[in-house]
Amino acid sequence: MEQKIEQFLDIIRNAKSVVLMGHKNPDGDSMCSVLALGHLLEKNFGVQVLCIYDGNIPDNLDAVPLRSRIKYFERADLTQCFDVAIVMDYGNPVHIGGCRPAVDNAKVVVEIDHHRNDNTVGELCINDDMAAATAVIVYQIARYGKLDIDSVSADLLALAILTDTGNFKFARNGDSLRIMADLVDSGVNIRNLIELMNNKPRKTVQLEARTAANAEFFYHSRLALATVCKKDYKYLDGRGEMVLSLLGQIQGVEYIVLLKEQKPEQIGISIRSRKNPIDQIAIELGGGGHERAAGAIVRDSLENVRKRVLELFKEV
Ligand SMILES: [Mn+2]
């Protein structure tokens, strides 16, 4: 790891222009890690930095520091040849989406990720699948390189860790907690950061509440199933994590499914489990993910997808 960080810092010392990106439809870790590293590199090395994304940024991230610095890929010139492209928190090359030309045109490609990935795109891969967030690796790079972590980068790293660990529920080891302790000692205010993410439009919160209230329950109420139809889909924030989390708090519910009619005949499915693995169900639907948080997109009617999902859960 240290040798790779050393190599990375060497690459940056020799670079003038750097483009950074995370996965499509960025979450807190993806976007804030990109912005934090971009800011650190700009301030500490004087390189020219461009941060880009594909998809949509959730409303709750609209107020994060430097939010305006990350550009939708179509509004950036990706035909230019960057000295370095840094691909972060992406997991799989398909998740790079429309940002891909920036990777293909770069002289050197570096990746920094905490997903398990057999299909890497970087010549240099600083990957650690035990890290609770990509931001954990960014912090380690900054500390190793003795970079100045100013209050903006500190807030961004803290936001990335808070969101990806679900406020530390998913921390797999003590690293993210130790890093947060350092960040708090350096002036980060966790309460303010969480408050900054309470930033959704009223219609979104009302839709989320209504969707949870209208959920159906199956198989002795072990499965909760909620649906967002097409006319409401635009109000849903991100993947609908709030709805999934609300339903997951119900006593006796083991599995939570959210069906989202993104377009006619295109249904996004998010599946969560409180105990048993459900990634196999997502794979059978043509998707994938983690053991207890997975999803898929199926091109069929809402009614047919609902039937198929219910059929698959019959077995579990
Ligand atoms: Mn992540």
Distance 114 CA to ligand 1 centre (A): 6
What's the pLDDT at 175?
95
Distance 175 CA to ligand 1 centre (A): 15
Distance 164 CA to ligand 1 centre (A): 6
Q: Would you say how long the chain is, in residues? A: 316
- Host H or E run for residue 227: strand 223-228
What's the pLDDT at 11?
98
The full set of domain ranges for the chain reads: 2-197, 202-314
Distance 26 CA to ligand 1 centre (A): 9
Distance 90 CA to ligand 1 centre (A): 8
What's the pLDDT at 151?
98
Distance 132 CA to ligand 1 centre (A): 7
* Residue 94 bridge partners (DSSP): none
What's the pLDDT at 289?
80
Distance 78 CA to ligand 1 centre (A): 24
Distance in angstroms (rounded) separating the CA atoms of residues 153 and 32? 9
Distance 133 CA to ligand 1 centre (A): 5
Strand, helix or coil for residue 152 = helix
Q: What is the pTM of this model?
A: 0.86
Amino acid letter for position 212 = A
Mean pLDDT, contiguous 10-residue spans, the chain (316 residues): 96 98 95 98 98 93 97 95 97 94 97 91 95 97 97 98 91 93 98 94 95 98 98 90 95 98 96 95 91 93 98 92
Distance 20 CA to ligand 1 centre (A): 15
Distance 176 CA to ligand 1 centre (A): 12
Are 160 and 32 in contact by the 8 Å Cβ rule? The answer is yes
Distance 304 CA to ligand 1 centre (A): 32
Distance in angstroms (rounded) separating the CA atoms of residues 215 and 286? 24
What's the pLDDT at 309?
98
What's the pLDDT at 229?
97
What's the pLDDT at 296?
94
Distance 89 CA to ligand 1 centre (A): 5
Distance 232 CA to ligand 1 centre (A): 27
What's the pLDDT at 20?
98
**Cβ neighbours for 216, distance < 8 A, ≥ 6 positions apart:** 224, 225, 226
Distance 168 CA to ligand 1 centre (A): 13
Task: Work out the number of other CB atoms within 10 angstroms of the CB of residue 228.
Answer: 25
**Cβ neighbours for 103, distance < 8 A, ≥ 6 positions apart:** 21, 85, 87, 96, 109, 121
Distance in angstroms (rounded) separating the CA atoms of residues 183 and 275? 32
The angle that helices 151-164 and 134-144 make with each other, rounded to 10 degrees, is: 150
Distance 274 CA to ligand 1 centre (A): 20
Distance 206 CA to ligand 1 centre (A): 28
Are 3 and 124 in contact by the 8 Å Cβ rule? The answer is no
Strand, helix or coil for residue 285 = coil
The domain 202-314 having CATH identifier 3.40.710.10: the answer here is no
End-to-end C-alpha distance for the chain, whole angstroms: 40
Distance 223 CA to ligand 1 centre (A): 27
Amino acid letter for position 214 = N
Q: Which CATH class is domain 2-197?
A: alpha beta
Strand ranges inside 42-145, DSSP E: 48-53, 70-72, 84-88, 108-113, 124-127
